[in-house]
Amino acid sequence: MTKQVEVVFEQGVLRPPGSTSFSEKEHLFITVSDLPKPTTDRAKEQFWLDANSTRYQGIGSRSTTERF
């Protein structure tokens, strides 16, 4: 079985932020990797907008005279 669990390194110990389904004193093999850095660019949002712009084209585009 393979399970991915986020942990926090505190006082020399890797601790999960919540409960897990592991048994007390269960032996496990772990692989450690850094969490991905949060991206500050808007590439994903722009990709979505480019891919879906025609789907939502015209929504909210009525002139103010048409609304009243």
**Alpha-carbon gap, residue 17 to 64, rounded angstroms:** 51
- The pTM of this model reads 0.42
Answer whether residue 45 is part of any domain: no
* Token digits of residue 17: 């932020």
- Whether 37 maps to a domain, the answer reads no
> 3: which residues sit within 8 A by CB, 6+ positions away?
21
Please indicate, yes or no, if residue 42 is contained in any of the structural domains.
no
Residue 23: per-residue pLDDT: 92
Q: Give the pLDDT band (50/70/90) at residue 25.
A: very high
How far apart CA 68 and CA 13 sit, in angstroms, is 64
Q: What's the number of domains the chain is made of? A: 1
Q: Is residue 46 within a helix (H) or strand (E), and if so which, with residue range?
A: helix 43-52
**What confidence tier does 59 reach under pLDDT thresholds 50, 70, 90?**
low
* Position 55 in a domain: no
Determine what percent of the chain is predicted with pLDDT higher than 70: 79
Does some domain include residue 9? yes
Euclidean distance between CA atoms 58 and 61, whole angstroms: 5
Judge whether 25 lies within some domain: yes
Which structural domain range is residue 23 located in? 1-32
